[in-house]
Amino acid sequence: MDRKEDYIAVFDSGVGGISVLRQLRRELPGERFFYFGDSTNAPYGSRPTQEVRALTMAAVAHIFAARPCKALVIGCNTVTAAAISLLREVYPDKIIIGIEPALKVAADHFPGGTVGVMATEVTLREEKFDTLLHRFDGGCRVVKLPAPGAVELVESGRADSPEALALVQQLLGPWAGKLDALVLGCTHYPFLSGTIRRVLGPEVPLLDGGAGTARETRRRLAAAGLLENGPGELVLTNSREEPAIFDLSQMLLNLPL
Ligand code: DGL
């Protein structure tokens, strides 16, 4: 039986899910969070789907063995696309919340506009994305923008480096002045926002699903009578048990929201 004081687990292939964790802590300050990033195996987004599923199942089994958890938030678009149905089959009694590229927000706000979706190869090729596209793209033109190499830059603490600027310039430079909005369809990318704004300009809205996922988590916990209003707690863990990854995680966590 799940209890209010149990943890909300947050999982990502690496440090990207910290962008979702930040929104969760803002929305639900009285909750206890257990974060696990699988940086040893990141990036997931260029792997075959079966590999993403196997890594996810191993990571989630580890999380549930480590702490009593009343909910699991998948702070990773790639894992949501490839493995959330499987997770819900294997853990039918657990509250499991995923994250999807914020296409609905884009379609609602920019009807008739051109919207870029920057995401991993897995997210853009999985059936879930096509379903999402057909549901919301009626009103706007959607440009798929896979970004190989971007996750690695965030994982190595180089989100604001000359290499990041070069990569983003190559990917988004040709779209400068042509996009009404850019959907950040990978939870690592909000940490590249500064670099992306340098290329696209400060006025282009960058949309990510973190805040929506946090609101959905609150809604699901409230519906189950499992909202906690305690002092709050955060346990930050990673499969790469090195001081450098811990320091990077803390730095990303403490960036101004
Ligand atoms: N952070 C993950 C996402 O939201 C992907 C990172 C990866 O490729 O491992 O898609």
Identify the residue whose C-alpha is closest to ligand 1 atom 8. 45
Q: Which residues line ligand 1 (CB under 6 A)?
A: 12-14, 16, 42-45, 76-78, 120, 123, 151, 186-188
Decide if 240 is inside a domain.
yes
Asked if residue 137 has pLDDT above 70, the reply is no
Q: Which residues are catalytic?
A: 76, 186
Answer yes or no: do 201 and 239 share one domain.
no
Answer yes or no: do 108 and 196 share one domain.
yes
Q: What are phi and psi of 20, to 5 degrees?
A: -80, -40
Q: How many residues does the chain have?
A: 257
Q: How far is CA 163 from CA 53, 154, 166, in A?
A: 30, 11, 5
Answer yes or no: do 108 and 200 share one domain.
yes
41 touches 239 (CB < 8 A): yes
Answer yes or no: do 219 and 123 share one domain.
no
- Domain tally for the chain? 2
Decide if 63 is inside a domain.
yes
Decide if 1 is inside a domain.
no
Mean pLDDT of 191-220: 97
Coil vs helix vs strand at 250 = helix
Mean pLDDT for the chain?
96
Answer yes or no: do 201 and 215 share one domain.
no
Answer yes or no: do 72 and 117 share one domain.
no
Answer yes or no: do 122 and 192 share one domain.
yes
Print the domain residue range for 133: 103-207
For 15-67, the pLDDT digits (tens) are: 999 999 999 999 999 999 999 999 999 999 999 999 999 999 999 999 999 99
Mean pLDDT of 180-209: 98
Provide the b/e sequence for 211-239 (b: ≥16 CB within 10 Å): bbbbebbeebbeeeebbbeeeeeeebbbb
Q: What is the pLDDT of residue 223?
A: 98
Q: How far apart are CA 217 and CA 215, in angstroms?
A: 5
Answer yes or no: do 160 and 242 share one domain.
no
Asked if residue 213 has pLDDT above 80, the reply is yes
Asked if residue 138 has pLDDT above 80, the reply is no
Mean pLDDT of 234-245: 97
Asked if residue 95 has pLDDT above 90, the reply is yes
What are the E-state strand segments in 122-232? 141-146, 181-184, 206-207
Identify the CA nearest to 96 among candidates 2, 26, 16. Answer: 2
Q: What CATH number is associated with residue 21?
A: 3.40.50.1860
